């Protein structure tokens, strides 16, 4: 709160001196307010610094969570020896193994096109194949009402695509640039002999160009009778799906790799070093607002708790065993070659050492650290910010109380000075009167 200057207007020759006396007294009385404001500004700076640090450590927590997410199915990689036949996808629950898929037929979809006998559409944004404003779309005998926003071919296609009826509508030009002839083409979403018809109330406006066929395949030579599917994406094993692209035989190999873990570990190392760097901002000659704050030593110890993890058993027990080491400044370094060497000896050892946030291993230790830092009730960061918020609020109260006292002193002093100034002004007027009178008498006597 800014200190107000004295507002004093007197008529005596000492009125300016009275104003200076008031202002000086107010300035001296306001010194505690300036100190309180400085303290409040320091607290606000500390609060901002803690929030910045909380954000940086939050990113470290996100990197730890991402590391946990990189385990499981993400450690499995599926490859096909002929990617022109199959495209594999690995999902949760997948297991290492091989799947030889013989794609007998990749299947096809029913294709339709609006009839030649309908009105020729040269502008699909203003014209339609029918004067009707409503249509009935039948897909395998299931009717769906279609009502385009306006009566043109473009809006008819949009209405069909948004109907969810199991077909995809396109507008194609079979007349060329010189003589446009736009038609609506409907393709069944699923494979197989799907019946597709579009009626404008008086006739079916579509011709069937091709009738679709089901996809068929076998897995590892079994069963002897091919499996049929109305989709090209099929499940060939637990957590393993493939997209059939064309007919032929291809083998999908599912095996564990450490690629996803390696990338997650790199992200963890970067976030860890950023968090450590945030602490360093408040040490040394150019230390920030948290210099000397006990929170810094607590955070440093928690980072050390992460880097010194040791399971005490297993093929890999420490971060150093999988390529993560700390330098003399506490910064982490990641040795990719060492990690790849470790994963080549068996990814399962790495998975065991990392564990999970809720069960065992490094991730549980790291998650516990993050909980101690961020827990809403007991966390270091929420606690420190709450204490500062309360201190700043109390500081505002103290500033307001002191300002009220200064304002009262100023008003009282101003009133007293006004009385003194009025008294002096009256005496000055009397002195002037007598001086004038004495001068007049003296002049009269001398005259």
pLDDT digits (tens, 9 = 90+) for 115-139: 999 999 999 999 999 999 999 999 9
Taking each helix axis as running N to C, give the angle between helix 361-374 and helix 347-354, from 0 to 180 degrees, rounded to the nearest 10.
30
Q: Taking all residues of the chain, what is their mean pLDDT, rounded to a whole number?
A: 92
Helix/strand/coil for 145: strand
Confidence class of residue 418 from pLDDT cuts 50, 70 and 90?
A: confident
Residue 2 has pLDDT above 60, yes or no: no
Residue 370 has pLDDT above 80, yes or no: yes
Residue 390 has pLDDT above 80, yes or no: yes
Q: Give the pLDDT confidence score for residue 345 in this predicted structure.
A: 78
pTM of the predicted structure, to 2 decimals: 0.65
Q: Give the pLDDT confidence score for residue 74 in this predicted structure.
A: 75
287 φ/ψ angles, rounded to the nearest 5 degrees: -60, 145
Q: Lay out the sheet containing 248-256: strands in order across.
A: 76-80, 248-256, 97-105, 215-219, 222-229
Rounded Cα distance between 186 and 362, Å, is 55
Q: Give the pLDDT confidence score for residue 446 in this predicted structure.
A: 83
Give buried/exposed letters for 103-134 (b at 16+ CB in 10 A, else e).
Answer: bbbbbbbbbbbbeeebeebeebeeebbbebee
Q: Which whole-number Å values give the CA distances from 433 to 198, 427, 428, 445, in the listed order?
A: 116, 10, 9, 19
pLDDT digits (tens, 9 = 90+) for 193-230: 999 999 999 999 999 999 999 999 999 988 778 999 99
Helix/strand/coil for 189: coil
420 or 394, greater pLDDT: 394
Whats the size of the chain, residue-wise? 447
pLDDT digits (tens, 9 = 90+) for 278-331: 999 999 888 999 999 999 999 999 999 999 999 988 889 999 999 999 998 889
Average pLDDT of span 55-82: 91
410 in Cβ contact with 4 (< 8 Å) = yes
Confidence class of residue 4 from pLDDT cuts 50, 70 and 90?
A: low
Rounded Cα distance between 234 and 101, Å, is 11
User: Could you say which DSSP state residue 4 is in?
Assistant: P
Residue 388 has pLDDT above 90, yes or no: yes
């Amino acid at each position: 709160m800014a200190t107000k200057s004295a507002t004093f207007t007197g008529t005596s020759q000492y009125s300016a001196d009275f104003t200076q006396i008031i202002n000086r007294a107010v300035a001296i009385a306001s010194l505690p307010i300036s100190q309180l404001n400085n303290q409040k500004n320091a607290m606000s700076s500390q609060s901002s610094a803690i929030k910045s640090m909380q954000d940086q450590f939050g990113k470290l927590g996100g990197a730890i969570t991402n590391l946990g997410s990189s385990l499981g199915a993400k450690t499995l990689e599926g490859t096909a020896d002929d990617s022109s036949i199959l495209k594999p996808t690995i999902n949760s629950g997948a297991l290492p193994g091989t799947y030889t898929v013989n794609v007998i037929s990749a299947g096809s979809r029913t294709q339709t096109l609006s009839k030649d006998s309908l009105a020729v559409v040269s502008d699909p944004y203003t014209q339609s194949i029918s004067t009707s404003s409503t249509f009935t779309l039948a897909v395998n005998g299931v009717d769906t009402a279609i009502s385009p926003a306006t009566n043109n071919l473009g809006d008819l296609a949009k209405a069909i695509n948004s109907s969810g009826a199991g077909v995809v509508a396109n507008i194609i030009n079979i007349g060329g640039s010189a003589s446009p002839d736009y038609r609506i083409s409907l393709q069944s979403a699923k494979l197989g002999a799907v019946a597709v018809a579009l009626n404008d109330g008086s006739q079916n406006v579509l011709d069937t160009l091709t009738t679709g066929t089901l996809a068929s395949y076998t897995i590892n030579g079994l069963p002897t009778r091919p499996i049929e599917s109305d989709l090209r994406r099929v499940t060939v094993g637990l957590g393993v799906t493939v997209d059939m692209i064309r007919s032929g035989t291809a083998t999908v190999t599912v095996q564990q790799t450490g690629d996803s873990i390696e990338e997650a570990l790199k992200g963890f190392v970067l976030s860890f070093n950023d968090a450590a760097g945030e602490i360093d901002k408040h040490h040394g000659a150019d230390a920030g607002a948290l210099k000397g704050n006990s929170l810094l030593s607590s955070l440093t110890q928690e980072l050390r708790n992460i880097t010194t993890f040791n399971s005490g058993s297993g093929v890999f027990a420490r971060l150093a065993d999988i390529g993560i080491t700390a330098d003399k400044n506490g910064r982490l370094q990641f040795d990719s070659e060492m990690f790849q060497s470790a994963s080549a000896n068996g990814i399962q050892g790495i998975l065991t050492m990392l564990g999970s946030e809720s069960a065992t291993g490094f991730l549980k230790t790291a998650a516990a650290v993050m909980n101690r830092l961020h827990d809403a009730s007991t966390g270091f960061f929420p606690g420190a910010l709450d204490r500062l918020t309360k201190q700043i609020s109390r500081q505002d109260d103290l500033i307001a109380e002191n300002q009220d006292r200064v304002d009262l002193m100023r008003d009282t002093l101003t009133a007293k000075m006004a009385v003194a100034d009025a008294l002096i002004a009256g005496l000055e007027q009397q002195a002037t009167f007598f001086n004038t009178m004495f001068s007049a008498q003296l002049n009269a006597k001398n005259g």
